[in-house]
A and B are shown apart, each in its own frame.
Chain A
Amino acid sequence: MTGTLKFVQGNEACVEGALYAGLQFFAGYPITPSTEIAETLASKLPQIGGKFIQMEDEIASMCAIIGASLTGSKSMTATSGPGFSLMQEALGYAIMAEIPCVIANVQRGGPSTGLPTKVAQGDVMQARWGTHGDHAIVVLTASNNQDVFNITIEAFNVAETYRTPVILLFDEVVAHMRERLTVPEKNEIPLVERLQTSVKEGVDYHPYLPREDGRLPMSDFGGVHRYNVTGLYHDMWGFPTATPAIVDGLIHHLTDKIRNNVHVITKFKEYYLEDSSTVLISYGSAARSALHHVLNRRKRGENIGLIELQTLWPFHGELIREKCKNARLIVVVEMNLGQLYRQVKMAVDRPERVFLANRVDGVFITPTDIKNMLRLIQGRGV
C-alpha cells in the first residue's frame, strides 16, 4: 500500500481514519483511555476547517454530534464506559431520528468508573442494548492500527449508508499501543457521502419518506427545508404519531435496515479454518493474543484456527454456525464474563462445544493464559 507511514497509538489511528473519512465535527468530554482521540482532534480538526468542542459532559457531547450531523457534517464523539452510559439516551434518539454519527467507546474495566487505565471488553452488550426499546445497532471493532484506521472509515460509511449511529468498540490495549500505520493516498479507500435530497427549495420535503431502495435522502437542517425531528414515533413528515400501522412500519424499518444487511455489514478475518478442529473466536486486542497462540500451536502441528470478528453487531450467527460446523471445540476469547460467548453458543449447532477463555482482572489476556485454559477445556491439565 502506498501512503504515509506513521508510528502512532491506536487512538491516533482512529483519528486518522475519521479525518480520512471526512470528519468535520467532534464534540466530546475527555476520559481515559479514549482521551488521545479528543486531544489529537482538538489540534487537527481546526486546521482543516472542522469544529472541535469540549462539552460539559457526555450527554451534551452526544446531543451536539447529533445536531451537527443533522446540519450536514460528518460527526463523531469518543468516550469510555462511564461516558458511554451517559450517551445511551441520545444514542436512542439518533437511532429513532435516523441520524448518522460515530461513537468511539474505548473500553476500560467496569462497571461504574471501574478501572480507568486497565483493559476490558465488558461493553459488548451495553453497545447492543444500552439504550431502551427494540432497536438495531452497528458495532465495529479492530485489533491493530491499520484495522482501526480502516474500520473507523467503515463506521462513517455505514452510518451514512444506513442513516444510523455506529459504535466503534475499541479497548485500552489497542488504543494506547503504538505501532505502524500507513495512511493511504486520498481516494484509495471509497467513502460514502451524505445522500442529499433532490427536492428543491419551496417544494415539500418528506424527511422520513423512504425511496424505493429504502434509503432516506437528507436535507441539511437549517437549510432550505423546514421539517420536524423527534424521538417519538413519527410519520413521513417527522411529526409525532401513535397510529399503529405507522408505528409498526417504523420499528420494522429501523431494525430491518440493519438486520437485512448483516451479510453486507459484517467484517471478519479468518485464519486456518479449513482443517481446524479447534476454532477460537475473538475480537479487539484479545484477538492478538488468540492469533499469537494459534500461530504458535500451528508450528507444533495442531489443527487450530481463529475467527476475528470486526463486526460485533449485528451478530452474523449464520456465518459463525457455518464456519464452526466442523469444529470439535469452539473457544471464545474475550475480556469479560462471556458476553460474545453466549451469542456464539446460541448461534452454533451442538452448543456444548462452545467454551469461554477469558480474563477480567484488568490484565491483558496472554497467549499463555489461552494455552492454559485450552488445556483445561481439553481435559489435558495445565
Chain B
Amino acid sequence: MERCRLVFSGSGGQGVITAAIILAESAVIYEGLVAVQSQSYGPEARGGATRSDIIISESEIFFPKVTQPNVLVCLTQEAYNKFYTIPRPGGILITDSHYVETWKKVDSRQIELPLYQSVIKEIGKPIVLNIAMLGAVIKITHLVKPESIMKTLETRINPEFLSMNQTALELGMNLAEDYAMEWIGGH
C-alpha cells in the first residue's frame, strides 16, 4: 500500500464519521502510517447524506480531500445515489444490502454485504453497524490490523461496550472473508 483513499457515506447518526476517525487514528497511532480524515460539516451531516474522507499513506499527504476513492462505502440509498459514480476505476464499492439497492453498473468492484441484518441478528443493536462496516473494510483492504482498531476503541469507548464492538468488528470481517484482496491503493 502506497496510498489508499476512502470515502465512508451514510446518514447522520449511523457512525460513518466515527468509523472514519477510528480507522485513521488506528493507522497513525498504532501502525506508524500517515493519515488524514475530514468530513462534511453543514446540515447534511445531521440527517442527509453524510460523508467522511480518509487518506491512509506511507508518505506525507498534502491535499487532504478525496475526489476519486479507491474504496467507497455507502450505508444508505441516498448516499449510494449521490456517490456511486466517484470511485476510481478498479476501486471497490461496498454497500449494505439492507439499506442499499444497487442499480447501476460501475467501473468499480461492487461488494454487497448484509451488515445491518447480521448485526441485528447476532448483536441485536444497530449502533455497532459502523464497526461491523469497519471490520469488512479492513478485511478487504488490509489497511490496518483488527488489533489496532480494538486498541483505538479501548481509548474511546466505555469498557462495558468493548466486547460488543469486538463482536461487531469480527462479524464484519467474517462477512467480507471471500472478498479479501491482496493489495489495494495506488500511487
Residues of chain B lying within 8 A (CB to CB) of residue A295: 62
Known: A292-B62, A295-B62. A178 touches B29 (CB 8 A): no
- Interface pick from B30-38, B106-114, B175-183: B30-38
> Within 8 Å of chain B (Cβ to Cβ): is A7?
yes
Q: Which A-chain residue is minimally distant from B64 (CB atoms)?
A: A177
CB proximity of B52 to chain A, nearest CB, Å: 10
Q: Which of A356-382 contact B (CB under 8 A)?
A: 364, 366-368
Known: A7-B24, A288-B62, A291-B62. A177 touches B38 (CB 8 A): yes
Known: A7-B25, A117-B42, A178-B21. A289 touches B35 (CB 8 A): no
Q: Which of B60-102 contact A (CB under 8 A)?
A: 61-65, 67
Residues of chain A lying within 8 A (CB to CB) of residue B63: 288-289, 292, 366-367
Q: How many residues of B contact A (CB 8 A)?
A: 19
Q: Which A-chain residue is minimally distant from B22 (CB atoms)?
A: A7
Spell out B's residues near A (CB within 8 Å): 21, 24-25, 28-29, 34-39, 41-42, 61-65, 67
Residues of chain A lying within 8 A (CB to CB) of residue B41: 32-33, 117-118, 172, 176
For this complex, 16 residue pairs linking A to B, each with C-beta atoms less than 8 Å apart, are A6-B29, A7-B21, A7-B28, A7-B35, A116-B42, A118-B41, A173-B64, A176-B39, A177-B38, A178-B21, A178-B37, A179-B64, A180-B35, A291-B62, A366-B65, A368-B67
Spell out A's residues near B (CB within 8 Å): 5-7, 32-33, 116-118, 172-173, 176-180, 285, 288-289, 291-292, 295, 364, 366-368
CB proximity of A173 to chain B, nearest CB, Å: 7
Bound-state Cα–Cα, A5 to B41, Å: 26
Main SS at interface, chain A? mixed
Bound-state Cα–Cα, A222 to B56, Å: 53
User: 8 tightest A-B contacts by CB?
Assistant: A117-B41, A292-B63, A292-B62, A7-B25, A117-B42, A178-B37, A288-B62, A177-B38
Bound-state Cα–Cα, A215 to B6, Å: 52
Residues of chain B lying within 8 A (CB to CB) of residue A366: 63, 65, 67
Q: Which A-chain residue is minimally distant from B45 (CB atoms)?
A: A117
Among A6, A178, A291, contact of B38 (Cβ-Cβ < 8 Å) = A178
Q: Which B-chain residue is minimally distant from A294 (CB atoms)?
A: B62
Most chain A beta carbons < 10 A, residue from B41, B61, B62: B62
Assess the B36–A118 pair: CB atoms within 8 A: no
Bound-state Cα–Cα, A285 to B34, Å: 18
Q: Which A-chain residue is minimally distant from B152 (CB atoms)?
A: A7
Q: Which A-chain residue is minimally distant from B54 (CB atoms)?
A: A178
CB proximity of B40 to chain A, nearest CB, Å: 8
Residues of chain A lying within 8 A (CB to CB) of residue B34: 179-180
Most chain B beta carbons < 10 A, residue from A6, A178, A367: A178
Bound-state Cα–Cα, A179 to B41, Å: 17
Residues of chain B lying within 8 A (CB to CB) of residue A176: 38-39, 41
Among A180, A289, A364, contact of B62 (Cβ-Cβ < 8 Å) = A289
Bound-state Cα–Cα, A117 to B25, Å: 23
Q: Which A-chain residue is minimally distant from B55 (CB atoms)?
A: A179
Residues of chain B lying within 8 A (CB to CB) of residue A32: 41
Among A33, A179, A285, A288, contact of B35 (Cβ-Cβ < 8 Å) = A179
Bound-state Cα–Cα, A177 to B37, Å: 6
CB proximity of A105 to chain B, nearest CB, Å: 18
Assess the B38–A173 pair: CB atoms within 8 A: yes
Q: Which A-chain residue is minimally distant from B34 (CB atoms)?
A: A180
Bound-state Cα–Cα, A367 to B65, Å: 10
Assess the A178–B36 pair: CB atoms within 8 A: yes
Known: A117-B41, A117-B42, A176-B38. A288 touches B25 (CB 8 A): no
Residues of chain B lying within 8 A (CB to CB) of residue A285: 64
Known: A7-B35, A366-B67. A179 touches B61 (CB 8 A): yes
Bound-state Cα–Cα, A295 to B64, Å: 15
Residues of chain B lying within 8 A (CB to CB) of residue A180: 28, 34-35
CB proximity of A294 to chain B, nearest CB, Å: 9
Q: Which A-chain residue is minimally distant from B61 (CB atoms)?
A: A179
Q: Which A-chain residue is minimally distant from B44 (CB atoms)?
A: A117
Apart from A177-B37, A288-B64, A292-B62: 4 A-B pairs, beta carbons within 8 A? A5-B28, A7-B29, A173-B64, A179-B64
CB proximity of A284 to chain B, nearest CB, Å: 12
CB proximity of B134 to chain A, nearest CB, Å: 16
Bound-state Cα–Cα, A368 to B63, Å: 10
Bound-state Cα–Cα, A118 to B65, Å: 14
CB proximity of A271 to chain B, nearest CB, Å: 11
Bound-state Cα–Cα, A292 to B63, Å: 6
Bound-state Cα–Cα, A7 to B64, Å: 15
CB proximity of A254 to chain B, nearest CB, Å: 38
Bound-state Cα–Cα, A88 to B183, Å: 54
Bound-state Cα–Cα, A209 to B128, Å: 65
